[in-house]
Amino acid sequence: MLIRTHAYAAIGPGSPLQPFELDRRRPGSHDVLIDILFCGVCHSDIHQARDEWGGAVFPMVPGHEIIGRVASIGDEVRRWTVGDTVGVGVFVDSCRECEACVAGEEQYCERGMSPTYNGYARDGTTPNHGGYSERIVVDESYVLSMPPGITLDAAAPLLCAGITTYSPIRHFGVRAGEQAAVVGLGGLGHMAVKFLEALGTQVTVLSHSPAKREDAIRLGADDFVVTSEADWLASCDGRFDFIIDTVSATHDYNSYLRALRRDGTMVLVGLPGPSPLEAGPLVNGRRRLAGSMIGGIRETQEMLDFCAEHQIASDIEVIPIQQINDAYERTLRSDVRYRFVIDIESLRGPDRRVAGPVADTAAAR
């Protein structure tokens, strides 16, 4: 027997998101049924709902920044009890046997992790559906514990934007006192600023939106440079030990590489289309270019605990799901301060099928 669940879905790559119903499986012996409270809106949701990476699975219920409450558990579940506040991130299963899985880096599973949506369960045929829905069923090993004291709606974006920026900052050993830069002040970028500030680095935001200067400083940045000004590199040439690039749109990597000092590292986490890259800026200065994808379950839990300890959460705009298409448009215009989070209660009332009013961008700020 399946569990009928209200959701919002993209029916095809060109279609706006619309009301949709899906069936969740009954929890198996190791499963947890979670009533979803909040779900963050990641730019990856937009890339995938529009099939910008190819191979998308439709109909698609996006959403991988999920916060909810455990509603029921399978008979062998030991880690969770009914009523626990939990999180679910970008993947809901993996092979559990390969080197990456054994190392706790399930996101790099050699057989492919099972994404929370836009992909399949381990059987390779059952499509997974994400957090723009009333509830989800997840194996207990892929569920995160939300530490007490954390604000639930503002914590939702930690499940993707948080871990995606925390993991490379840790992995590449960024240290207090170093010069760090964040390219793009969006959902990921503003989390990177908060983590780098908490670790005691000197943080500079490199942004193409001059209006974000005040916010950047309030979020913890020490400096703000407008990259749409022709001579921006003059103040940044050879300056940074570490750069994290979160930009979602095609852009020229070469000028950002020139902003690294000798032996500096730039990590790409943004996933735009093809963007220009030359050997020169890497060769000159022995600079390094790397990439990084989300983080494993263990590291995601570590990040959540770090956030609770340092009182870090996301800056959010809460919306009912009926405003999701406007939220996508505003995200594409770099006009979100700094993450939309859907209040999933809006899927439960009798008004759930009613399209919401157009978001008033001025009032929302």
Residue closest to 156 by CA, chosen among 352, 339, 336: 339
Candidates 49, 159, 185, 203: give the one binding ligand NAP (CB under 6 A): 185
Give the shortest CB-116-to-Zn ion separation in angstroms: 9
Candidates 131, 184, 264, 296: give the one binding ligand NAP (CB under 6 A): 184
Backbone angles phi, psi at 342, to 5 degrees: -85, 130
What residues line the site for Zn ion (CB under 5 A)? 42, 44, 94-95, 98, 101, 109, 160
Query: Taking a C-beta distance cutoff of 8 angstroms, is the pair 19, 353 a contact?
Result: yes
State the DSSP H helix or E strand holding residue 9, giving kind and residue range, or none if neither. strand 3-9
Which one of Zn ion, ligand NAP, none is in contact with 254 (Cβ closer than 5 to 8 A by kind)?
Answer: none
> Residue with structure tokens 């916060």?
67
- Treating both helix axes as pointing N-terminal to C-terminal, what angle do 161-171 and 297-310 enclose, rounded to 10 degrees? 100
Query: Taking a C-beta distance cutoff of 8 angstroms, is the pair 145, 131 a contact?
Result: no
Under the binding rule (CB under 6 A), the answer on residue 330 touching ligand NAP is no
Residue closest to 140 by CA, chosen among 86, 214, 204: 86
Under the binding rule (CB under 6 A), the answer on residue 293 touching ligand NAP is yes
Query: Taking a C-beta distance cutoff of 8 angstroms, is the pair 205, 216 a contact?
Result: yes
Q: Which stretch binds ligand NAP (CB under 6 A): 21-29, 196-204, 240-248, 314-322?
A: 240-248
String of contacts with ligand NAP for each residue 253-272, x by CB under 6 A? ----------------xxxx
Under the binding rule (CB under 6 A), the answer on residue 248 touching ligand NAP is yes
> Which two three-digit tokens encode residue 273?
């289309």
Which one of ligand NAP, Zn ion, none is in contact with 34 (Cβ closer than 5 to 8 A by kind)?
Answer: none
Give the shortest CB-278-to-ligand NAP separation in angstroms: 18
User: 3-state DSSP call for residue 215?
Assistant: helix
Q: Which stretch binds ligand NAP (CB under 6 A): 113-121, 141-149, 291-299, 350-358?
A: 291-299
Closer CB to ligand NAP, 73 or 316, in the complex = 316
Strand pairing class (135-139; 31-40): antiparallel
Which one of ligand NAP, Zn ion, none is in contact with 94 (Cβ closer than 5 to 8 A by kind)?
Answer: Zn ion
Contact positions with ligand NAP (CB under 6 A) in 80-119: none
Closer CB to Zn ion, 116 or 179, in the complex = 116
User: 3-state DSSP call for residue 219?
Assistant: helix
Under the binding rule (CB under 6 A), the answer on residue 42 touching ligand NAP is yes
Q: Which stretch binds ligand NAP (CB under 6 A): 23-31, 92-100, 121-129, 290-298?
A: 290-298
Residue closest to 164 by CA, chosen among 264, 103, 266, 245: 245
Residue 199 corresponds to which amino acid?
L
**CA pair distance 255, 247, nearest whole angstrom:** 14
Under the binding rule (CB under 6 A), the answer on residue 160 touching ligand NAP is yes
Which one of ligand NAP, Zn ion, none is in contact with 181 (Cβ closer than 5 to 8 A by kind)?
Answer: none
Under the binding rule (CB under 6 A), the answer on residue 186 touching ligand NAP is yes
> 61 to each of 116, 117, 119, 181, 232, how far by Cα in Å?
9, 7, 11, 34, 40
Q: Which stretch binds ligand NAP (CB under 6 A): 108-116, 156-164, 304-312, 316-324?
A: 156-164
Query: Taking a C-beta distance cutoff of 8 angstroms, is the pair 115, 47 a contact?
Result: no
Closer CB to ligand NAP, 27 or 281, in the complex = 281
User: Contact positions toward ligand NAP, by CB under 6 A?
Assistant: 42-44, 47, 160-161, 164, 184-189, 207-209, 212, 246-249, 251, 269-272, 292-294, 331, 334, 336
